[in-house]
Amino acid sequence: MKTDITEQAKRIIDLRRFQAENDAINNKIEALKDEKFKKLYQTYMTRVIECAKNNKELSADDSKLKIQYLEQLKKLGIPYIEPDYYCKKCGDTGFVDGKYCSCLTKEINKILKKDSGFDFLESFTDVDFEIFKNKEYMQKLYEKMKKWCHSDYKKTLIYIAGDTGVGKTHLIKCMANELINLNHIVRFTTSFSMHQDFMKSYSTKDLDEKNNLLNKYLNVEILFIDDLGTEIGKYRDITLNYLYQVLNERKINRLPTVITSNLTLDDLRDYYDERISSRIIDKSTAINVFLSGEDLRLKDIKNK
Ligand SMILES: [Zn+2]
């Protein structure tokens, strides 16, 4: 993933922390102007320091002091003197036990969503299966994909094939939403814009730019590629090489990739070379599903 996206998100979290801490300091300065509060608060803080020094617990009287100064604070109309962090889990640091806190991944995903043009996602819970002619098949497929979202991603690649208008994009929008709610970092791209980045990466002489253009597909935790097979133009070999690199490295690094396409598996073999189609078809690491255009029937390729 482009590191500047993580940096951008961290800046948002940092700003929240500074704001919360600054508000708390200002509140405390204001509260200390009141003699009664000042006396109670300072007596309590002296006790806290004493106890810490002597490795003792605070007494019931000390707790009373705290209650009293908080009551006085209330009377003064000051809401708090300790930072009121936006995220209680991480105290607006963005990290919990060295891992990204959900507030940080949420901000990263917000930026990624904007970046991808997929601002609006769908939810598995809101799907109206009545619109599908083949309701039961679609229900099964949605359930299967939801289950995958909650899995450990042993199957690192999902290939969803079907004609235009059978609901492939709707399905992956539900999946992306589910994954974001599970605190994963998701990038959405169309095959077309990925191809454009490949071409830019190929033609630029700026090494950083070259790497950044590729890394956003190589490193992101979960990558969605919508409409694979629409991208190949004049520079077929270049596109194929880059696409292979993306699929292969993601597979090696066990990073999930979800692809939609109009191409059936047979088309896929014709359209792409063996290196690419075998990555997508490999049953040990991939799930292939097919949405039929006529009756929206799901045919699991594995059962064929
Ligand atoms: Zn947090």
State pLDDT tens for residues 247-278. 999 999 999 999 999 998 888 888 888 899 99
Report the chain's mean pLDDT, rounded to a whole number: 88
Q: Measure 13 CA to ligand 1 centroid, in angstroms.
A: 8
Domain residue limits, the chain? 3-96, 117-303
Confidence label for 103 from pLDDT (cuts 50, 70 and 90): very high
Nearest to 225 by CA among 206, 198, 253: 198
Q: Measure 86 CA to ligand 1 centroid, in angstroms.
A: 8
Q: Measure 1 CA to ligand 1 centroid, in angstroms.
A: 20
Q: Measure 72 CA to ligand 1 centroid, in angstroms.
A: 31
Cα–Cα distance for residue pair 73/57, rounded to 1 Å: 24
Q: Measure 220 CA to ligand 1 centroid, in angstroms.
A: 20
Cα–Cα distance for residue pair 137/134, rounded to 1 Å: 6
Nearest to 298 by CA among 153, 183, 132, 187: 132
Fold of 117-303: Rossmann fold (3.40.50)
The pLDDT value given to residue 4: 78
Contact 178, 149 (CB under 8 A): yes
For the whole model, what pTM was predicted?
0.74
Cα–Cα distance for residue pair 133/150, rounded to 1 Å: 27
